[in-house]
């Protein structure tokens, strides 16, 4: 398994500076968290390509900064806004192609069906439209499990997988399952063989997000479970800037993952 580091870990440092630093530390892969509209422009994508191609680093995924607004953009009752947002998200798909990524991460709807949100089936159909649009551009949209979003619940994820079959993909995040009060192993099982990407982090009884290796997460159990579920993607460390003091700490955490689980 290949491990890397998300640029989100370093927010609010400038995106290009972060990518340069990761490349200098010979990180194998990264997820780009797009922080603003201009970072999707071709001028920025070209600069990113120059850095990653020179270092051999792979951009495995792109995370839109509009994730927190997807309940308004994509999953509201206003149909024309959904149509317009499909067109807007093509900018992310184009950017992902430009930097060599194949996955765009989706948070989805904050509103739940039993408290005024759209029905689950409508949600699934909306996702399917976005998924098929992305597929036509060579990109996979991965529904992430996110605390306080509809996707926090393994039962919802399982229902989504059963409804859409092979036309669904998931991004699995350990800390988001823990924050929502669910077992990461249960969430992983709910996603089945449709996991395409992973956000890896650690936790203990006091903290729900830590650098890998600093908590009590049983990676051996979890990563072997994922392999049994036919996971063939990459895992990027995703924590917050407050969880480490300098880049050497997070790089060391990545190296430990490579050493212990790189042959899975």
Q: Tell me: the pLDDT tens digits for 125-161?
A: 999 999 999 999 999 999 999 999 999 999 999 999 9
| Alpha helix (H) residue ranges in 100-236 | 120-135, 154-164, 174-179, 184-191, 219-228
Domain count, the chain: 1
Nearest to 153 by CA among 179, 121, 125: 179
The pLDDT, as a whole number, for residue 214 is 97
What average pLDDT does this structure show over 209-230? 97
Does the residue 217 lie in any domain? yes
Does the residue 231 lie in any domain? yes
**Which range marks the domain in which residue 196 is found?**
3-247
* pTM check: above 0.85: yes
The set of residues, in sequence order, having a beta carbon less than 8 Å from that of 174 and lying 6+ positions away, is 184, 199, 200, 201, 202, 203, 217, 222
What CATH number is given to the structural domain containing 178?
A: 3.20.20.150
Does the residue 150 lie in any domain? yes
Does the residue 43 lie in any domain? yes
Does the residue 238 lie in any domain? yes
The pLDDT, as a whole number, for residue 252 is 97
Does the residue 258 lie in any domain? no
Does the residue 259 lie in any domain? no
The pLDDT, as a whole number, for residue 191 is 98
The pLDDT, as a whole number, for residue 4 is 98
What average pLDDT does this structure show over 212-229? 97
The pLDDT, as a whole number, for residue 90 is 98
The pLDDT, as a whole number, for residue 222 is 98
Does the residue 30 lie in any domain? yes
Q: Tell me: the pLDDT tens digits for 50-105?
A: 999 999 999 999 999 999 999 999 999 999 999 999 999 999 999 999 999 999 99
């Amino acid at each position: 398994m290949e491990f890397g580091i998300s640029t989100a870990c370093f927010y609010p440092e400038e995106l290009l500076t972060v990518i340069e630093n990761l490349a200098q530390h010979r990180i194998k892969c990264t997820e780009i968290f797009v922080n603003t509209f201009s970072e999707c422009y071709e001028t920025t994508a070209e600069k990113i390509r120059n850095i990653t191609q020179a270092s051999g680093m792979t951009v495995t995924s792109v995370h839109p900064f509009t994730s927190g607004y997807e309940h308004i953009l994509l999953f509201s009752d206003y149909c024309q806004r959904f149509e317009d947002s499909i067109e807007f998200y093509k900018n992310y798909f184009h950017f992902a192609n430009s930097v060599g990524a194949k996955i765009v991460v989706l948070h989805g709807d904050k509103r739940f069906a039993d408290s005024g949100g759209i029905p689950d089936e409508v949600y699934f159909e909306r996702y399917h439209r976005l998924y098929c649009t992305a597929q036509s551009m060579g990109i996979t949209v991965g529904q992430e499990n996110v605390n306080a979003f509809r996707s926090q619940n393994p039962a919802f994820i399982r229902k989504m997988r059963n409804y859409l079959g092979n036309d669904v993909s998931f991004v699995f995040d350990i800390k988001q399952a823990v924050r929502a009060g669910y077992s990461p192993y249960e969430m992983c099982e709910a996603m089945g063989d449709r996991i395409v990407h992973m956000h890896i982090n650690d936790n203990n009884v006091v903290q729900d997000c830590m650098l890998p290796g600093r908590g009590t997460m049983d990676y051996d159990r979890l990563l072997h479970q994922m392999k049994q579920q036919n996971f063939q993607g990459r895992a990027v460390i995703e924590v917050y800037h407050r969880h480490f003091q300098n880049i050497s700490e997070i790089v060391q955490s990545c190296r430990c993952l490579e050493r212990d689980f790189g042959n899975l």
